[in-house]
Amino acid sequence: MYLDNKYYHFVTIILAILSYLGDGQQICDSTTCKAPNCHCSGVNIPGGFHPEDIPQIVLLSFDDAVNWDNWDYYLKLFPPDGRRKNPNGCPISMTLFVSHNYTDYCMVRKLHGRGIEIADHSLTHQVPHEWWKNASEEELANEILTQRHNLANLAEIPIEHIRGWRSPFLQPTGDTMFTILWKNNFTYDATLTHPFPRNVYSPVIWPFTLDSPLAIGCNIKPCPQKSYPGFWEVPVVTLMDYREHLPCAYVDFCQNKPRNKDEAFQILWKNFLRNYRTNRAPYYLNLHSPWLDKTDNLDAMDEFLNRLVAMEDVFIINIHQALEWMRSPTSNMNIMDFLPWQCPFFKPNIEDGIYCVMTYKPRTTTTKAMYSNRPNKDSNSDARKNNQTKLNSNINRAYPPGFFEEEQITRHTTKRRPWFLRNSAARNNSFKFVIGWVSLFWILFSR
């Protein structure tokens, strides 16, 4: 018995689905997977709203260490006085995925104190990236959980506030990684990369939970195959460079690098408009702070944030706040009263009241020293002394021995002798060479 071609394809699809279900796996069903703890992957807007009825979320995140290399950038883009605000009057925020090496945990503590989300980005940031692909469960657990405890102990952040993880190089370890995160009560992962939409008018994928096995795949393998109920995946959606030619997962990884401020601004703005004009999925803006070393890039980012905060329906928040909105979708009409986005405890320059040990800003890259922030005169001296002792102990555990010791810079003061006097053999040959040429010129011009 032969089937018509169209029926053949139909039966094939049905059998494939039945086979998929027969293995004990289930396709996400949006009729049963609902807020607050479940959301199927896709481009559909949570809550069934129209795009113009919801706020545009902007998720700015930086990876790697926090130290003097990027501290001034964070102060400029996220002013401690809170003058750069969202429409509800609260300061803008971001998420920092912090690795251990070279991190100043006092800076991390101060950033967290003014509303910046701190997430886990590994203990050692092992290279090469293939290490993360093949890491054992024990190795990976050490990287994830030890750094989480470092952030909790050395930066004094409540461990329940360290909710997220991003793997170095965006390299997942399949189910090994997700099992560790899920069992240890992490809320979300932000590692899996997803391709650029088909064109600038295509909607963008929203964050989703892994209540069902991953159905959309990921660019960098291995992807997870199992389900992790209630665990969120915040996708890394690739951007397009300023020429709109090549995709890039991080802003600083674009092959067509901007040559001036305008081109840097176009990367940020054009990709933002893709989300804003389609389904208003969160705008995932991922980068490393060295991209801001170039003045044009820093100025472009500053102008970009200024333009966003002038818009009445755009909120620059951290990933945790975005997931709170996913759990309870709220329209623009009621967003000003949305409790998870409020800031009842924020005060301008609140970090000035956080006393901890920071590294000196080095004059050169070879010098590291320490200083302590001086508390107010009316502070309790005994409490201050105990706190200082505790923090010094934490810092000593955080950094390798000798990290803060000043390195002596040896200057070579010996003057270089002329090339024809560096050694006796060269000197003799050089004099013979010079005398020979002088004699030749004397003979030629004396006639």
Integer Cα distance of 119 and 79 in angstroms: 20
The pLDDT score that the predictor gives to residue 202 is 87
Amino acid at 221: K
The yes-or-no verdict on residue 445 having pLDDT over 90 is: no
Integer Cα distance of 376 and 439 in angstroms: 82
State the pTM of this model. Answer: 0.77
The pLDDT score that the predictor gives to residue 385 is 42
- Where do the H-state alpha helices sit in 155-223? 175-183
Integer Cα distance of 400 and 381 in angstroms: 30
Report CA 47 to chain centroid distance, whole Å.
Answer: 28
Q: If you average pLDDT over residues 11-15, what whole number do you get?
A: 39
The mean-pLDDT minimum among 21-30, 99-108, 159-168, 382-391 falls in 382-391
The pLDDT score that the predictor gives to residue 434 is 62
Contacts of 446 (CB under 8 A, 6+ apart): none
The yes-or-no verdict on residue 297 having pLDDT over 50 is: yes
Q: 168 and 132 in contact (C-beta within 8 Å)? A: yes
Residue 359 pLDDT level (bands cut at 50, 70, 90): confident
Using CB atoms within 10 Å of the CB of residue 1, give its burial: 0 to 12 exposed, 13 to 18 middle, 19+ buried.
Answer: exposed
Report CA 422 to chain centroid distance, whole Å.
Answer: 53
Q: 45 and 54 in contact (C-beta within 8 Å)? A: yes
pLDDT tens digit sequence for 137-184: 999 999 999 999 999 999 999 999 999 999 999 999 999 999 999 999
Q: Characterize 324-363 residue by residue with b for buried, 16 or more Cβ atoms within 10 angstroms of its Cβ, and e for exposed.
A: bbbeebbeeeebeebeebebeeeeeebbeebbbbbbeeee
pLDDT tens digit sequence for 384-433: 344 444 433 433 333 344 433 333 333 333 344 443 334 444 445 555 56
The one-character DSSP state at 161 is G
Q: At what angle do helices 137-154 and 175-183 cross, to 10 degrees?
A: 40
Helix (H, G, I), strand (E, B) or coil at 316: strand
The pLDDT score that the predictor gives to residue 11 is 37
Q: If you average pLDDT over residues 329-344, what whole number do you get?
A: 96
The yes-or-no verdict on residue 331 having pLDDT over 50 is: yes
Distances (CA, A) of 60 to 13, 319, 424: 40, 9, 65
Token pair belonging to 390: 């505790």
The yes-or-no verdict on residue 367 having pLDDT over 80 is: no
The pLDDT score that the predictor gives to residue 170 is 97
Contacts of 279 (CB under 8 A, 6+ apart): 43, 44, 45, 51, 203, 204, 206
Helix (H, G, I), strand (E, B) or coil at 348: coil
Among 167, 179, 69, which Cα is nearest to 124's?
A: 167
Integer Cα distance of 51 and 57 in angstroms: 12
The pLDDT score that the predictor gives to residue 196 is 73
Amino acid at 342: Q
The pLDDT score that the predictor gives to residue 298 is 98
The pLDDT score that the predictor gives to residue 447 is 56
When comparing pLDDT for 58 and 247, which is higher?
A: 58
Helix (H) or strand (E) holding 239: strand 239-240
The mean-pLDDT minimum among 311-315, 356-360, 388-392 falls in 388-392
Integer Cα distance of 193 and 221 in angstroms: 10
Structural domains in the chain plus CATH codes: 52-353 (3.20.20.370)
The pLDDT score that the predictor gives to residue 352 is 82
List 59's β-bridge partners, or say none.
Answer: 284, 317
Q: Characterize 392-414 residue by residue with b for buried, 16 or more Cβ atoms within 10 angstroms of its Cβ, and e for exposed.
A: eebbeebbeeeebeeeeeeeeee
Q: If you average pLDDT over residues 337-354, what whole number do you get?
A: 90
Token pair belonging to 372: 């302590």
Q: 66 and 116 in contact (C-beta within 8 Å)? A: no
The pLDDT score that the predictor gives to residue 393 is 40
Q: At what angle do helices 105-113 and 137-154 cross, to 10 degrees?
A: 70
Among 58, 82, 78, which Cα is nearest to 66's?
A: 78
* pLDDT above 70: percentage of residues in the chain: 75
* Average pLDDT in the chain: 82
Q: 276 and 57 in contact (C-beta within 8 Å)? A: no
When comparing pLDDT for 80 and 382, which is higher?
A: 80
The pLDDT score that the predictor gives to residue 356 is 87
The pLDDT score that the predictor gives to residue 430 is 54
